[in-house]
Amino acid sequence: MLSKKIEKALNDQIALEGTASFIYLAMASWCDKEGMEGCAQFMYRQSEEEREHMMRLVHYVNEMDSHAIIPAIKQPSKEYDSAQKLFEEVYAHEQKVTNAINKIVALCYETDDYTTLNFLQWYVEEQREEESLMRGILDKIKLIGTGGQSLYYIDKELNKINAAQMAAAQNEEGGAE
């Protein structure tokens, strides 16, 4: 069984991942409405991924004979000022999640919970990848600038990332067979 401290920290993390999933879904929907198909596809997938991260935690907490609590989720913003602002928000959210994961890792050391520590290694690696991916997207957006056709080029860049991620997922599936 998990200690009360770790159980609470993991339940807070469930809420954070669930919130990320909803925020990213709202962002995907806004991109869709604005005709940015590549960005929309990317954010729909990020939203799914965050849900999976939440579910991993739900299963872990319950497997450890504790109780995973499903949180109420606040309605995210409906409108975003620009693609750049949107990705700045995503990046800031990812940094917040990384900090939260690091705090639970520290708590695991404090409470000698090496099972949870081991479980969290996957999240540590995932956050490193996500932060670097979002930073890369923001760098590209800044390079493209805000000229007349900037949205077109930003969307094109996101489509390239979509294609690369789909190919990587297919490779993984192929390897797993």
CA distance 23 to 20: 5
Minimum CB distance to ligand OFO, residue 99 (Å): 11
48 binds ligand OFO (CB under 6 A): no
Decide whether 97 or 137 has the Cβ nearer to ligand OFO.
97
Place of tokens 């920290």: 9
Decide whether 46 or 66 has the Cβ nearer to ligand OFO.
46
Applying CB under 6 A, among 45, 55, 126, 138 the residue interacting with ligand OFO is 126
130 binds ligand OFO (CB under 6 A): yes
The number of residues in the chain equals: 177
Report yes or no: 100 and 171 within 8 Å, Cβ to Cβ.
Answer: no
Of 106, 107, 155, 122, nearest in space to 17 by CA: 122
5: enclosing H helix or E strand: helix 4-33
20 binds ligand OFO (CB under 6 A): yes
Report yes or no: 123 and 105 within 8 Å, Cβ to Cβ.
Answer: no
Q: How many CA atoms lie within 13 A of 152 on its CB side?
A: 3
Decide whether 31 or 53 has the Cβ nearer to ligand OFO.
53
Minimum CB distance to ligand OFO, residue 50 (Å): 5
Applying CB under 6 A, among 83, 86, 97, 141 the residue interacting with ligand OFO is 97
- Residues forming contacts to ligand OFO in the complex (CB under 6 A) are 17, 20, 50, 53, 94, 97, 126, 130
